[in-house]
Structure 1
Amino acid sequence: MARLPDLEALAIFARVVELRGFSAAAADLALSKATVSKAVTRLEARLGARLFNRTSRRLALTDAGARLAERARRILAEGEAAEDEALSQSLAPRGLVRLAAPMSFGLAEVAPILPDFLAAYPEVSVDLHLSDEVIDIVGMGFDMVLRIAALPDSSLVARRLRPVVRHLVAAPAYLAARGRPTHSAHLSEHACLGYAYLPSPETWRFLNPAGEEVSVRPAGPLRANNADALTPALLAGLGLAVQPDFAVGRLIAEGRLEAVMTGWSAPPVALHLVQPPGGPRPARVEALADFLARALSRRA
C-alpha cells in the first residue's frame, strides 16, 4: 500500500533550511531540538539520502538537500496558507503583513489610510517599508508591494489600481525669469531637476495626442532619489521637474507650482499592487490587498 508523504518532516526540514539551523528552527516551532533532529533524520532515512552536511560549527545542504529545499518550502507555505484560509472562515485575519511602497506615495496616500485598516482588523499588524528603490519582493520576503511603473511581464501577480499622471512643473518665479517651455527642444535652455529612479533618468520622454514622441537629456543643479526632495528646489525657483500628481497636485492647485508643456505628457504609468506568484494567500494578506485596492482606486 502506498505511504503518505511525511509532510511534518518536510515542513520541519523547510524551517531548518530557512532559519539555517536546528536550534533556530526548534525555537521557532516551539519544539525540542531533538524532535527537529529526529524529523530530519526520519526524512533522510525515508529518502535514502543525506540532506545536510553537519559539523560542530556549520550546517550545509547536500546536493539532495538543495534539490528538496525549494519543494519543501512550497509545501510548508501551501500548508500554512491552507490553514489560514480554513481559519479565516471562523476567525478574524491575524498576524503580520509586510508591505513596501514608494516613499512619497506611501507618506501621502498609504500611511493615512492604514489606521482604518488596523481598526477594522485589530489582530493584523503591518510592517510598512518605504523606499523608491525597486524592491525584490520575493528575495526580501514582502507579502505585497505598491509599485508605480509601466510594468514588464513577469511571474509576479500584479493588480492595476489606477493611472498616475505626471506633470512637468516649475514655480511661477522660475517661469517669469527663464520663460515657459512649450516643446522639449526648449528644455536644453532650462535647469532640469532630476529623479534618480526613472526608468532612464538620463533621458526625459514626452508624448503628444498625435502619438509623436520626443526625448531630451536634462541637465540641472539637483537630482534626488525621492520626489518630495525636489519640492523645495522647485519652490525656490531653481528649475523644472517631472513630478507625479500625488506629489505636486496640491501645490498646482494653490498656484505655488505651474504645469508647463501641457500639450505633451510623460509616458503613462500606473499604480499596481504586486504580489509573489502562487497561492492561496493567508487571510491577513488578502484582507490588506483588498483594502488597499478599494481605497487607493477610489483616490484617483
Structure 2
Amino acid sequence: MFKNLKLKQKFTMILLVILIVGLSFCGLSLSLILRQNAEREIASTGLLLMETMTSVRQYTNEQIKPELNEQLEREFLPQVIPAYSATEVFNNLRSKEKYGQYFYKEATLNPTNPRDKADDFETEIVEKFRNNTKLKEWQGFRSEPAVDMFYIARPLQITEPSCLECHDTPERAPKTQIKNYGPVGGFGWKLNEIVGAQIISVPASAVIQKANQYSFLIVGIVSIVFVAIILLVNLLLNRQIVRPLKRITRVAEEVSTGHMDVDFEQLSNDEIGNLAKAFKRMKLSLEMAMRRLKRPPGNTNTGNPSNYGNSGNSGNYGNSGY
C-alpha cells in the first residue's frame, strides 16, 4: 500500500506518524513533569497555610491566653487553646474558593479535644517525626474509601513551657478545662516532645486536575505548532520537489513520444536541478542519435571495376616483344 502512494502522501504519512509518536511521548513526559510541578505548587500553598496556622498558634499562646488566664478560672474558653484557634481560623479560610479543597488537622496522639485524635495513618506520620527528630516535613498520598488525598505534614512539638499549664497534669490544668474535657486526655506532655503533627491535605484529584490542565494546554500548543510544520513542509515539498518532478516527468513523456521541441528546464542547482540537467543531456544525445539514423548513406566512390580492363589492351601483350 505504501508503495502505491505518491511522494507527497508518503511524506505526509511519515510526518503524521512522527506527530502521533511525538505527542504520545510528549504527553507521557509532560504528565509526569506537570504532576510533580502541581504537587510542588499545592505543597507550597499548603506550607504557606501551615505557616499561617503556626503563627495563629503562637499569637494565641503569647497574646490571647495571658489576657484570659484569670477568666479561665471561672469559665473555660476554647479560644485560648492554640490548636482550637488554628483550626477555627483555617475553617474560615476554607470558605474562600481558593482554599475550599484544603483540610487542616492537628493530629495528636493524646489530645485534649477528641476531634484532634490521630487515626492509624496519622499516628504513623507522628511516629516518623518522633523516631527521627531531624525530619521536619513529610508528604505523600493517602488512600481513603471516598477519595485519595495528597498531604503534607510537619511535627507538632512542645516548645513553650506555657503549654504545659494545660497539658502537664490534671492538677495543674484549669478546673474549667477538666470540667469540659475530663482528666484523661491531653496530659503527660513534656517540653520539646513531639506530640502530634500539623497535617494539611487536599484531594489528589485536585493535583491531577491541575496537572491535566497544563498538559492539555501544552499538548494543544505543540499539536498546533506541529500541524503548522506539516503544512509548511508539504507546501515546500510541493513547490521544491513535487512540481519540478512533475515537469520533468511530463517533458520525458513527450520526448518519449517523439516531441523533441520540448526541453528540460534546470531551475535550480540541487538534486532536482541536476536530474533535469541529466535528462537534458540525454535528450541531446537522443537527438544526435536520431539524426545519424536519418542521414542518407555516404557516397564512398572507389572507382568503376570496368576500368581495370582498360589498363592495357590484351593484344598489346603480343607486341611486347616476347
TM range (shorter): under 0.3
Q: Which structure carries more helix by proportion?
A: 2
Q: Which structure carries more strand by proportion?
A: 1
Larger Rg computed on CA atoms: 2
TM, length-normalised to structure 2: 0.17
- Taking CA–CA contacts closer than 8 Å with sequence separation of 6 or more, which of the two structures ends up with the larger relative contact order? 1
